[in-house]
Amino acid sequence: MRLHGYFRSSASWRVRIALALKGLSWETIPHSLVDGEQRDPGFLALNPQGLVPALEIDGLVLTQSLAICEYLDETHPQPPLLPPDAAGRARARALAQAIACDLHPVQNLRVLQRIRAIAGNADAGTIWARETCDQGLDAFAELVGEGAGAFCLGDAPGLADLILVPQLANARRFGCDMRWPRLLAIEEACLSLSAFASTAPSAVEQG
């Protein structure tokens, strides 16, 4: 199995966590987003979107981090990334999508580069990113609530957690004040696990 990704890409880190939680091993094919390598013709032939991650597995090329995580969960059910009931799955997916659809896309590198170009200065991108992270994580913290366990949805990590942790790293990088004690507690619980810590950008950068 070959994972096309980039060490600092949040969406790539999500998939690395899912693979590690499932106890799977993989080969990394790096594509530097800073150097625009995701637009190389060879990679575009694999994924016409020119985005990482893409996972070569079972003779398929899978794209989109959430779709990849659901595929891994269906084909390698243990440990589960989603709750066993439809209501629980809807809640887990809604939490994941609150970040993956409403927050992360509007603060990723592609958008920041456009904002900087429109504004004519580099700070505009960072201010935008910080504000969208603050708003998005305020809402996410409300959605998660106090909860009963150490993770977003109970006592085991799952889809919502593997989306949250990379986003918190982005928020920290953008200079957010990290005003979400419950989310930071979830992050600490996650990063105490090898599946999260060993796949972090700082851990895989040299790899």
Q: Which residues bind its own copies (CB under 8 A)?
A: 48-51, 58, 60, 62-64, 66-68, 70-71, 74-75, 86-87, 89-91, 93-94, 97-98, 100-102, 104-106, 111, 114-115, 118-119, 124, 128, 139, 142-143
Output the smallest distance, CB 144 to its own copies, in A. Answer: 10
Q: CB of 162 within 8 A of CB of 17?
A: yes
Report the SS3 class of residue 62: strand
Cβ proximity to its own copies: between 34 and 86 the closer is 86
Output the smallest distance, CB 44 to its own copies, in A. Answer: 9
Determine if the peptide bond prior to 80 is cis (ω within 30°): no
Cβ proximity to its own copies: between 106 and 178 the closer is 106
Output the smallest distance, CB 192 to its own copies, in A. Answer: 28
Cβ proximity to its own copies: between 67 and 122 the closer is 67
Cβ proximity to its own copies: between 93 and 173 the closer is 93
Q: How far apart are CA 22 and CA 25, in angstroms?
A: 9
Tell the residue number behind the tokens 């609530």, with chain if given.
145
Q: How far apart are CA 61 and CA 122, in angstroms?
A: 36
Q: How far apart are CA 139 and CA 190, in angstroms?
A: 20
